[in-house]
Amino acid sequence: MSKISPIYNMLNDRLVQFGVFHQLLSVESMVPYYGRYSAKMFIKGKPIRFGYTIWSLCGNDCYPYHLKLYQGKGEGRNQPLGKSIITKMVDVISSRSNTEKHQLYFENFFTSYDLLVQLTESNAKATGTIRENRSAGAAKALSTTKELQKMERGTFDHRSDGKVYVAKWNDNDVVGIESNWETHDPVHTVNRRVKGGVKDVSQPHLINSYNKGMGGVDLMD
């Protein structure tokens, strides 16, 4: 990695030379690779399960602002890796812009209750899908996944402690999501295919917002 890291450092300087000019930003990435190398990652359930990871901060139309090569287990020793990566990306945003002007979206690999509280202190607006064991106990207060699956499509449950808002929404699967600034209101209506045709179902606002904010890295790829 030492041979190509200087190229990425130079590239990152160029990418932010005009500042951070997108309001909607997202963090994710995976580069397919099936050979042997210690920095290769495996992420279960992803379309690309094996490969190098280049953590990428992108606008929602695919413009990249920062590319960080994952170089192995040494990263993020003092805090969870996902939290370390998001903190780095927020530092990139704040160095070239006002964090309050942007909305950051990321997947459940990164999201945790503690991270969103920390981002609130940095005046950074963030929303991300969440794993139940990272919700600081909120998952126990919400309807279970099995209970929601038995309910009508579009049903959702939510909780908030005044700092972080957590919701679970029943779509094709039950989706857990967390935000330090968005809630379910206003509730949107989306079309879904069901037996017998197409049906309008309810969709919480933060899910709708998440879908709009994510995808920039996929477009870049």
- Please report, as a single letter, which amino acid is at residue 32: P
Q: Give ∠ CA 171-172-177 in degrees, rounded to 5.
A: 50
In tens, the pLDDT along 7-17 reads 999 999 999 99
Question: How far is residue 95 CA from its own chain's centroid?
Answer: 21
**Nearest-angstrom CA–CA distance, 86 and 27:** 8
* Residue 76 reports pLDDT greater than 60: no
pLDDT at 197: 83
Cβ atoms of residues 66 and 219 within 8 Å = no
Question: Residues 6 or more apart from 168 whose CB is under 8 A from it?
Answer: 142, 143, 145, 148, 156, 157, 158, 174, 175, 176, 177
In tens, the pLDDT along 140-165 reads 999 999 999 999 999 999 999 999 99
Q: What is the pTM of this model?
A: 0.91
**Nearest-angstrom CA–CA distance, 146 and 149:** 5
**Nearest-angstrom CA–CA distance, 174 and 168:** 6
* Confidence bin at 209 (pLDDT 50/70/90): very high
* Residue 83 reports pLDDT greater than 90: yes
* Confidence bin at 75 (pLDDT 50/70/90): low
Percentage with pLDDT > 70 across the chain = 97
H helices of 35-80, where? none
**Nearest-angstrom CA–CA distance, 174 and 166:** 13
pLDDT at 74: 62
In tens, the pLDDT along 32-64 reads 888 887 777 777 777 777 888 889 999 999 999
Stretch 189-203: mean pLDDT: 88
Question: Residues 6 or more apart from 155 whose CB is under 8 A from it?
Answer: 148, 169, 170, 202
- Coil, helix or strand at residue 215: coil
